[in-house]
Structure 1
Amino acid sequence: MDYFRRGLEQNAPIFAFLNMCDVDGATFAHSQTVGFWTIIHDHIGRVEAALSKHFAAPLGTLETEVKAMEERVLFPWDMGIRDIVLESDSMIVIDALMGSSDPPVVITNIIERTRQKLQDFKSIQLSHVKRQGNRPVYVLA
């Protein structure tokens, strides 16, 4: 990407050219459905894209969080974004994706698929944020 290389030549911080992708998911037990929300914004907070998905699936909390992350890896890729920072309030998911811990068996397949897709990106950073730090995605809820 020309703007990315140009920014590096001007000694701009790398993060100034990355897109942040805030991720969250929720389960709705009464209807046995799940929802995923994401907001992609640039380095100064301008919204680049947003997505909200809701579908029928009786997933637990952890499965919902890891599925939300998988969806949010696919979303920026489909938007043509190749340099991203992914944030999630699930430390289990972040640690599993980074390889610093073995994922629980119930999410192993999704973690492996997501890791494979992450390898296609030019640059990626995974970040754990506390629940209150992930407020923008709750607006979509």
Structure 2
Amino acid sequence: MTHTLEYSANVSPPKAKHLLSRICKDCLPTRTRLRNHFVQCQEECPLCSQVPEEEWHLLVECEGSREAWSVMGLEQILTPRLQSCNNIQELIFDICCRESKEVAGKMALLMWVLWQNRNNFVWHETRISARQAGLQAMSMWEDWIQVNGQVVTTNKAGQQQHVAHVNEQQQPPRYSYLKCNVDASFLGTTNATGSGWCFRDNQGRFLLAGSNVILGRLNTIEGEAVAMKEAISEAIQRGFTHVIFESDSQILIDAISSRQQGYSTFSPLISNIRSLLSLVPNFELFD
């Protein structure tokens, strides 16, 4: 199991790797485990108060946790294993052994967020929804990849390999193409999210830009998606026919490019972006 944990360590924060280690060593202090060690505490799950709290329930089944897996893009990874895996350790081991390092890292980070959400409720009486937990894990994953300057790819032989993340936003587009960069911003402690976009020609000269403020604190990926949607709509309205749209969110680009249909509340926005892109054949995405 140590090798399995090391497998996901390079593409997930140390705190997520540490949590997997505690789970696999049977030392995560769930209420069931505390009771087995003669600690006087309630046995029911603190989030739902329906069943005894143990790892499988908390991280897979409790209070819509499946939605968090779906938002993180791991629903299709989890579903086939619900019947074949007998406990959380088997689930972790199977995913780490059979899936990519990227998937293993995302799983580790999602479990950390779910466990943190549980602890926040137990000790501080604050909690977020399963959807928010998934979005938080997705945002943390994106930040981790950007900070560490690497992404995980699969070569034609099916082998996993790390490649350096190259920031190509300053490179000009192909001849006759425009380039549009999109981004999201968060306005201090206010309950608002900013989105913006900027068009340049193939020589890097500024053409036009726009921005918007949305009431409500969106997740980083949601903010990027809103900015992307607004930029594509603007390009269509202005009659642009050859545009490369860039975002620094690998997760957003993957979600738009994927043929899989999601089932989270984030999915309609992605579907809308896909529909807009389909209207103009020479609109492209780049991260």
TM-score normalised by length of structure 2: 0.38
Matches within 5 A, 1:33-52: 33-52=192-211
How far residue 100 of structure 1 moved from its aligned partner, in angstroms, is 6.0
Identity of aligned residues (%): 25
Aligned partner of 1:106 in structure 2 is 265
- For residues 121 and 102 of structure 1, do their structure 2 counterparts lie closer, same or farther at Cα, with a shift above 3 Å needed? same
Aligned partner of 1:92 in structure 2 is 251
Q: Secondary structure at the match of 1:50?
A: strand
Aligned partner of 2:281 in structure 1 is 122
CA distance in 1, matches of 2:177, 2:230: 19
CA distance in 2, matches of 1:84, 1:103: 26
Root-mean-square deviation over aligned CA pairs: 2.0
How far residue 27 of structure 1 moved from its aligned partner, in angstroms, is 2.3
Aligned partner of 2:224 in structure 1 is 65
Matched-pair contact (CA < 8 Å) for 1:25–1:65? yes
- For residues 100 and 92 of structure 1, do their structure 2 counterparts lie closer, same or farther at Cα, with a shift above 3 Å needed? farther
**Segment of structure 1 superposing worse, 67-76 or 100-109:** 100-109
The structure that has the greater radius of gyration is: 2
CA distance in 1, matches of 2:262, 2:217: 20
Q: Runs of 5+ in structure 2 lacking a partner?
A: 1-172
Q: Secondary structure at the match of 1:30?
A: coil
For 2:208, the aligned partner's letter is: A
CA distance in 2, matches of 1:62, 1:27: 12
Of structures 1 and 2, the one with the larger relative CO (CA 8 A, separation 6+) is 1
CA distance in 2, matches of 1:100, 1:65: 20
CA distance in 2, matches of 1:81, 1:109: 24
For 2:233, the aligned partner's letter is: L
CA distance in 1, matches of 2:216, 2:237: 23
Q: Secondary structure at the match of 1:45?
A: coil
User: Which of the two has greater strand per residue?
Assistant: 1
Equivalences, count? 115
How far residue 102 of structure 1 moved from its aligned partner, in angstroms, is 5.9
How far residue 106 of structure 1 moved from its aligned partner, in angstroms, is 3.5
Q: Runs of 5+ in structure 1 lacking a partner?
A: 1-13, 129-141
Q: Secondary structure at the match of 2:194?
A: strand
**Segment of structure 1 superposing worse, 65-74 or 101-110:** 101-110
TM-score normalised by length of structure 1: 0.73
Aligned partner of 1:30 in structure 2 is 189
Aligned partner of 1:4 in structure 2 is none
For 2:249, the aligned partner's letter is: S
CA distance in 1, matches of 2:223, 2:249: 10
CA distance in 2, matches of 1:87, 1:22: 5
- For residues 99 and 23 of structure 1, do their structure 2 counterparts lie closer, same or farther at Cα, with a shift above 3 Å needed? same
How far residue 18 of structure 1 moved from its aligned partner, in angstroms, is 0.8
